[in-house]
Amino acid sequence: MKPNILVVDDNEDILEFLSDELNEKYQVTTALNGNAALAVMKEAAIQLVVSDVMMPEVDGFELCKKIKSDFEHCHVPVILLTAKNTLQSKIQGLEHGADAYIEKPFDIEYLAVQIATLISNRNKVREYFIQSPLVHIKSIAHSKSDELFLENLNQVIFDNLDEPELDVDNLAKYMNMSRPTLFRKIKLVADLTPHELINLTRLRKAAELLAEGDYKIYEISNMVGYNSQTIFGRNFFKQFGCTPTEYQKKNQAVKK
């Protein structure tokens, strides 16, 4: 699926121009002002925002501030477009959490590269986390708020790791969040479903235990919530490209 980006500007001609230029690579959603943009973000999984600064009601600075201070959306990159080219306006944009600040008139290719780079960087961090068993989950956080959320979520999963029936409903209850809110937050921050994150956390904890070498594989399988060692081994291989036995031997060899 194409990444979903939100373009915000009170000029309909600019919205149409940007939509036409960007829709080959992205699913483009548009809004005429900051309030409309915030309403869109409550309903859609937006991966990046491009916003003009000078708008009625809620301007680009205020929109950026609201996005970056909101628990559900603080991870979303924001690019501000503005005719103001003063140093103070750039500082103001960065102070409100903008990830990039582009002066008008701008080159569409430059904007496209900025968008692609921000999305690509987020994806690279996520892929590295998923493929590296011992990298901490907070590495995929994009803000302090995200970091605290992920650390809390990770701890809740760890505390209930031996429960084979741990699912999104139980996880939402432990996190004191509604199921839809938790599902959406995990999906937007990690691009994983809660089920995928729970399974990944099980396997990452298993990798940690395997590396320590203090337990047999069947014991680790039970400790991380698998009723079947066969399914555990199959999932471990699918995730990390080696069997639990191979992973354990490799880490023991490194220790020697």
Domains of the chain in start order, with CATH, are 4-126 (3.40.50.2300), 133-255 (1.10.10.60)
Per-residue confidence band for 222, with pLDDT thresholds at 50, 70 and 90 = very high
Are 247 and 236 a contacting pair, CB within 8 Å? yes
Q: What are the pLDDT digits (tens) for 103-142?
A: 888 899 999 999 999 988 888 877 877 777 767 777 777 6
> Who contacts 15 (Cβ-Cβ below 8 Å, separation ≥6)?
7, 9, 30, 32
Give the count of beta carbons closer than 10 Å to the beta carbon of residue 14.
Answer: 16
Average pLDDT score over residue span 73-84: 85
H or E element at residue 102: strand 100-103
Whose tokens are 């970056």? That residue is 68
Are 57 and 23 a contacting pair, CB within 8 Å? no
Average pLDDT score over residue span 46-62: 91
85 has a pLDDT exceeding 70: no
Are 114 and 191 a contacting pair, CB within 8 Å? no
Rounding to the nearest 10 degrees, give the CA dihedral for residues 189, 192, 197, 199: -170
Render 243-254 in DSSP notation, one character per residue: -HHHHHHHHHHH
Per-residue confidence band for 255, with pLDDT thresholds at 50, 70 and 90 = low
Classify residue 103 by burial, with Cβ atoms within 10 Å: 0-12, 13-18, 19+. middle
